[in-house]
């Protein structure tokens, strides 16, 4: 019955059947419900509760249980739960799985423990590209771009071939380290030497790296020449850089593109208006505001548009 309810998407009914069983449920029964809870995306903390309940009933969680559970702990930011799952894996000889290792590295990194991520990484015997990517991403996520790039070079020396996820991690690391030239170099190396196909996310990340470095026209050139569809993420990265550096011409280009791609996103109108305001172009800021209002758009609850005689700025 559990599998029937799980297949039909009725997670609550599946959990109810699990709780009302006359015999002790097997690990497979628990795994089915845990996986269904995770997939549903609703009340995911219930997956951790089920994990603890199965242990309380003397049912030993399997590797499948742990693999389903770690992403939940990551999403919840529950470092104590990550440590709990990690400890169980070590005590029961499940830690040799590189899949679990990469999940734990990512979980520790996302939950703020680089020490924990590095400890797991060091203990994984056979590191595949996923494990390396998780560790590089963890350092990049916390702003340690130089360490992340050093790790990538170590991976190259160990003859592990990078993939698209590692490609993205390296670009983000370059961005955090403020190394736009390295980002361009690695973009070339990864696409031409390793044959990794660049997608929209890779190009958007490169635009972001160049934008952060103040190389706005170069970032725009990447957008103009990219062989894949230009996404809102790429234009948004350029618009954000234009606001940082006060570049109004490219800001208008990026904003117009965003107005077409995301016509209902008030944030794009607000960003352009604030760029105008910051440069003293108050009539233009007012025009953008009127355009926004005519489209029936409103600013987000956390923002307000304040108009002064000499300035108009959304704060």
Residue 22 DSSP SS3: coil
Q: Quote the pLDDT of residue 172.
A: 92
Dihedral sign for Cα atoms in the order 279, 285, 288, 292: positive
Q: Quote the pLDDT of residue 43.
A: 75
Q: Quote the pLDDT of residue 187.
A: 95
Kindly state the tokens that stand for 254. 């990026």
Kindly state the tokens that stand for 124. 């994984």
Q: Considering the entire predicted model, what is its pTM?
A: 0.80
Q: How many residues in total does the chain contain? A: 315
Say how far apart CA 306 and CA 311 lie, in whole Å: 8
- Domain borders along the chain are 263-315
Kindly state the tokens that stand for 161. 């071939």
Q: Quote the pLDDT of residue 301.
A: 53
| Number of neighbours of residue 307 by Cβ within 10 angstroms | 13
Kindly state the tokens that stand for 27. 């690990």
Q: Quote the pLDDT of residue 312.
A: 42
Q: If we measure between CA atoms, which residue out of 291, 290, 282, 287 comes closest to residue 313?
A: 282
Per run of 10 residues, the mean pLDDT along the chain (length 315 residues) is: 65 73 82 82 81 89 91 90 92 84 94 95 90 94 91 94 94 91 94 94 97 97 96 97 96 96 93 94 93 82 46 43
Q: If we measure between CA atoms, which residue out of 79, 76, 137, 71 comes closest to residue 100?
A: 71
Q: Quote the pLDDT of residue 1.
A: 63
pLDDT tens-digit profile of 201-246?
A: 999 999 999 999 999 999 999 999 999 999 999 999 999 999 999 9
Q: Quote the pLDDT of residue 228.
A: 95
Q: Quote the pLDDT of residue 14.
A: 73
Q: Quote the pLDDT of residue 126.
A: 84
């Amino acid at each position: 019955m559990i599998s029937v309810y799980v297949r039909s998407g009725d997670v609550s009914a599946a959990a109810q059947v699990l709780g009302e069983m006359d015999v002790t449920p097997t690990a497979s029964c628990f795994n089915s419900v845990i996986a269904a809870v995770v997939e549903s995306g609703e009340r995911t903390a219930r997956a951790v509760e089920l994990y603890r309940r199965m242990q309380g009933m003397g049912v030993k969680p399997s590797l499948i249980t742990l693999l389903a559970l770690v992403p939940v702990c990551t999403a919840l930011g529950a470092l104590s739960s990550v440590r709990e799952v990690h400890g169980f894996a070590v005590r029961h000889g499940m830690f040799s799985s590189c899949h679990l290792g990469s999940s734990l590295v990512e979980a520790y990194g996302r939950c703020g423990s680089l020490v924990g991520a590095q400890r797991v990484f060091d203990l994984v015997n056979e590191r595949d590209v996923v494990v390396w990517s998780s560790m590089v991403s963890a350092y990049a996520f916390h702003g340690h771009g130089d360490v992340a790039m050093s790790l990538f070079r170590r991976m190259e020396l160990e003859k592990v071939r990078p993939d698209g996820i590692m490609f993205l991690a390296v670009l983000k690391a370059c961005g955090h380290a403020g190394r736009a030239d390295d980002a361009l170099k690695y973009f070339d190396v990864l696409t031409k030497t390793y044959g990794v196909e660049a997608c929209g996310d890779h190009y958007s990340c490169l635009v972001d790296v160049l934008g952060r470095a103040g190389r706005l026209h170069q970032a725009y050139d990447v957008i103009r020449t990219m062989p894949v569809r230009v996404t809102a993420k790429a234009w948004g990265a350029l618009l954000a850089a234009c606001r940082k550096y006060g570049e109004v011409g490219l800001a208008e280009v990026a904003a117009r593109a965003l107005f077409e791609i995301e016509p209902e996103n008030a944030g794009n109108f607000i960003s352009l208006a604030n760029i105008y305001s910051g440069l003293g172009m108050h009539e233009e800021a007012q025009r953008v505001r009127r355009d926004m209002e005519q489209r029936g758009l409103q600013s987000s609850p956390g923002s307000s548009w304040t108009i002064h005689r000499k300035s108009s700025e959304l704060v």
